[in-house]
Amino acid sequence: MSTLHTVNKSPFERSAFISALNHLKPGDAVLMIEDGVVGARKASAFADLLAMAAESCSVYVLGPDLAARGMGENDVIEGAKLVDYGGFVDLVTTHRQTQAWL
Amino acid sequence: MADVKAAEIDSGVRKKLMFVNRKAPYGTIYALEALEVVLISAAFEQDVSLAFLDDGVYQLMRGQNTAGIGMKNFSPTYRALGDYDVTKLYVEKESLEERGLKSADLMEITYEDEDANFAEKSSVRIVSRSELTDIMAQQDVLLNF
């Protein structure tokens, strides 16, 4: 009975990312999309926080949004997995509910 | 000399305009809108400069590929700014560092310096937060995006 949390705002600009991490239960998934993908960047000020969440939850990043901002698989924290739009749909269907942190 | 001065006055007021970019591209329309106004300002022969701080530094990322999100990749336009005499792109060092970014992650943006035998020079100037603060204080107008 897990939840998919989506984050579409940069953690440097809004508190949505932090709120999402503060409301995770073990086994939940976090998917970073749109400007939210910058929060997955390796060595950023939020990297350690996200890495900690990744120990008990799955962390996903939407690949097309990452590519649009000049980044790829090697630029995100270890443990974060890239998904495409099809993968996004799969995540929605395999979790009981979706919480969109706008 | 007197003639030059008269010509300067005839051409109208030339102000120092700085465009302050603080948002990542594509998630919102701000970055693209700023670029549009920068080009218009340059056409009116203003002293235009750009500042990239906070998430604005992401606008200059190298290798942007928007094919997957169905939006126009406008990043090549930054490289054309030199042709419009827009040659001062200030990037805040601390903003890069907080985001785990280095200057090598940014596009190469150059201009041809007319006063130096058209030598190719970098338009991107990495400056510290306090340096940027001083540069902002020297402007006539700050436009925020």
The contact set of B with A (CB < 8 A) is: 23-28, 54-55, 58, 61-69, 71, 73, 75, 98-101, 105
List, in sequence order, the alpha helices (H) in B64-123. Answer: 76-80, 93-98
Q: Are A35 and B99 within 8 A, CB to CB?
A: no
Query: Which residues lie below 8 Å from residue A28, measured CB to CB, with a gap of 6+?
Result: A2, A3, A4, A5, A57, A58, A95
ipTM of the complex: 0.88
Q: Where are the domains of chain A?
A: 3-101
- Residue range A3-101 in CATH 3.40.1260.10: yes
Burial A26-47 (b: 16+ CB within 10 A, else e): eebbbbbbbbbbbbbbbebebb
Mean pLDDT, chain A, as a whole number?
Answer: 97
Dist. CA A22–CA A30, nearest whole Å: 12
What is the structure's pLDDT at B5?
53
What pLDDT, in 10s, does the model give residues B73-98? 999 999 999 999 999 999 999 999 99
What is the structure's pLDDT at B2?
46
> pLDDT at residue A74 above 60?
yes
Straight-line distance from the first to the last Cα atom of chain A, in angstroms, rounded to the nearest whole number: 22
Q: Which residues of A touch B68 (CB under 8 A)?
A: 63-65, 67-68, 84
Neighbour count for residue B129 (Cβ, 10 Å): 11
What is the gyration radius of the CA atoms in chain A, in angstroms?
A: 12
What is the domain class of B15-64+71-144 according to CATH?
alpha beta
Q: Where are the domains of chain B?
A: 15-64+71-144
The DSSP call for residue B4 is H
What pLDDT, in 10s, does the model give residues B36-71? 999 999 999 899 999 999 999 999 999 999 999 999
What pLDDT, in 10s, does the model give residues A1-21? 699 999 999 999 999 999 999
> pLDDT at residue B16 above 50?
yes
pTM of the complete model: 0.90
Tokens 């926080």 appear where? A49
